[in-house]
Amino acid sequence: MNTDDDFAEQLRARVDAAAPHIPVDTSVVIPGARRRRTFTLAAAVAGSLAVVFGGWAGVSALPTLSEGVAPASEQTPTPTTSSRSGGTPCGTAFALEETDSPDIEVQGAVVAGTLDPETGGFEWGTPGPTLFANVGTTSEVPEGPSDGLDRSGVTTMLVGPDGTVAFWTDPERQLQGEATDGSGGTWPDGLYDAVDCRTGRPLTGTYRAYATTTTDGTGGGETLELAPVSFELGSGQMAGQWPDRVPACGRPAPADLLAGEVNADFDVTLDPGVDLEDVRRGLHVDVTVTATGTDQLTGRVPQALHALLVDRDGMVVSRLYDPTREEFDSGATFDVSQGESFSAEVYQWFSSCPDPDRYENVRAGTYDLYVYTVILASTCPDCGPGPRVAVGGPFPITLQ
């Protein structure tokens, strides 16, 4: 049996082998893996992002489906109408009425890929016969170390070109099983056959995705559009690809960042009405993103931009990327040239530098806040998206 150290080395090796990739802090990931039997690394095809799909939160009290469920292509096509509540959105027309809860934030994405029943791993990057609905809620304003997304109470729907619901996250049809390799691992929560509920046949083409909650604890809820889901080859890319050189927690901030001389593709400004003098453990704020270069840039707006804190000695004291949550795009797109802008949000937990024994918030004090994130953008319709840096700051901020 592998020890935790062996597991950590294997994880680092697999992450290092995927390029470009999102940096993964194994000191945080591995304790998360211990809390559940499931730990899945989605190692996509070469050139795709490597994303850890761990089990930090899940749907509770779900009925267990029989293991070894036949793939959609082998099932007799029948419409899906089951729902424990007695109703179903399948085949109904859907028009977005976006609502914003004052207490919760919905984040996440639905991706198409392939489940490996032997290991319980889910691989995305090339569309496959399985959907992973990794959509859930977190607090509207970060208030402590994130423990992932709570997927209970969230319904996610895919809507076809005709405007009707082709898929929804019906708990009765969620795939559940145990890895057959003897590891004892279970499949990740949120897996479904990629089947059109109206016809019982495999989903094809591209679908708009929406998420809605029934309650946020105060009687309200949130409804929003997510990144679309495509079964076309070449789809599946989410959020930004982080470059090798980023401001690292516990190290001096780059001189060009402190001097305001980063060769950035986008300039980020905060909502002028935000109060930065009484911030708790994180920040959620509207921002304006303005193109600074001469290229026309198109892409999808990230659900959240990242930010970091720098102390008076010029040291980075917070993690730029929090590995307890994944990178997600929104359903909104941008198409901007020099001087043109689009709206986005910063959503960032202020977590202290990695420590193998604990995971804590940055201590109270006054810092400089910098927005620093990577956005995928294309310069022409036939060009593949490439990483573009968005930077803003410094903005004086006081943590209480």
Look at strands 266-270 and 386-399 and give their pairing.
Answer: parallel
Same domain for 266 and 214: no
pLDDT value of position 315: 96
Instruction: Classify residue 66: in a domain, yes or no.
Output: yes
CB 379 within 8 A of CB 297: yes
**What's the token pair of residue 254?**
């780059």
Tell whether 90 and 223 lie within a shared domain: yes
In a domain, 166, yes or no: yes
Q: Domain end: 191, 215, 230, which one?
A: 230
How does strand 206-213 pair with strand 130-139? unpaired
- Output the CA–CA distances (angstroms, integers) from residue 313 to 23, 250, 310, 318, 368, in the order listed: 25, 11, 8, 14, 11
- Distances 228 to 82, 93, 328 between C-alpha atoms, Å: 24, 17, 11
Same domain, 261 and 220: no
328 domain-assigned: yes
User: 104-116 and 130-139: which strand pairing?
Assistant: antiparallel
Q: Are residues 225 and 259 in the same domain?
A: no
**Domain boundary at 183, 215, 230, which?**
230
User: How many whole angstroms separate alpha carbon 353 and alpha carbon 334?
Assistant: 33
Q: In whole angstroms, what is the distance from residue 85 CA to residue 155 CA?
A: 13
In a domain, 44, yes or no: no
Q: Is 201 in a helix, a strand, or coil?
A: coil
Q: State residue 185's pLDDT score.
A: 87
Give the domain extent around 288.
Answer: 255-399
Please give the pLDDT value at position 142.
85
Q: Which residues of the chain have pLDDT under 70?
A: 1-87, 144-148, 215-220, 234-245, 321-326, 356-359
Verify that 268 and 208 share a domain, yes or no. Answer: no
In a domain, 244, yes or no: no
Same domain, 65 and 192: yes
142 plus 264 within the same structural domain: no
Kindly provide the residue ranges of all beta strands, DSSP E only, lying in 79-232, ordered along the sequence.
104-116, 121-124, 130-139, 154-159, 165-168, 191-193, 206-213, 223-230
pLDDT tens per residue, range 344-357: 999 998 988 877 56
265 shares its domain with 352: yes
CB atoms within 10 A of CB 176: 17
pLDDT digits (tens, 9 = 90+) for 227-245: 999 998 766 556 566 666 6
3-state secondary structure of 387: strand
Any idea what the Cα angle at residue 71 is, between residues 66 and 72, rounded to 5°? 115
pLDDT in the model for residue 81: 55
Q: Give the CATH number, domain containing residue 266.
A: 2.60.40
Tell me, yes or no, whether 167 and 216 share the same domain: yes
362's CB contacts (< 8 A; 6+ apart) are 281, 309, 317, 318, 350, 351, 352, 399
Flag whether 31 is in a domain: no
Count structural domains, the chain: 2
3-class SS of residue 107: strand
Regarding whether 203 and 62 lie in a shared domain, the answer is: yes
In a domain? residue 4: no
**What's the pLDDT score for residue 68?**
33
Q: CB neighbours (10 Å) of residue 203? A: 24
Question: Do both 220 and 270 map to the same domain?
Answer: no
Residue where a domain terminates, one of 214, 230, 246 = 230
Same domain (yes/no): 170, 260: no
| 53 contacts 22 by C-beta, under 8 angstroms | no
Residue 48 domain-assigned? no
